[in-house]
Amino acid sequence: MTEVTRGEFDMLKEMVSISNIRMESIDNHGTRGVAVIQEQVTELIKDLTELKVTSESWQTKHGEEHKTDLRNRITGRRWLIGMGVTGIGAMGGLIALVLQLLSRVHG
């Protein structure tokens, strides 16, 4: 067994006393820090919930915009095809009329 000198014992006693004061200080004022952190975590949860709702509504709106764009493109193509067929039909009738007139004039 090693012997402890009076100086080492006093140093140990002082360290224990300082630690004791720290522990009492934490007990007296420790809950303030926890309350601040708890409030920050609560605010973070609120912000994340709001962000999630905003993100979901944005994604829904964005999906609807894609559907609307697709419908508009389909409608535009149908109109273009319809106009093309109508134009070809009208040109075909005019060409047939011109050919008939030319055959009567030369025939």
Q: What is the pLDDT of residues 6-65, one digit of tens each?
A: 888 888 888 888 877 777 666 565 565 677 778 888 999 988 888 888 888 888 999 999
DSSP 39-66: HHHHHHHHHHHHHHHHHHHHHHHHHHHH
pLDDT of 61-97, one tens digit each? 999 999 999 999 999 999 999 999 999 998 998 999 8
How many domains does the chain fold into?
1
Dist CA 41 CA 35 (whole Å): 10
Dist CA 63 CA 57 (whole Å): 10
Domain range enclosing 98: 1-107
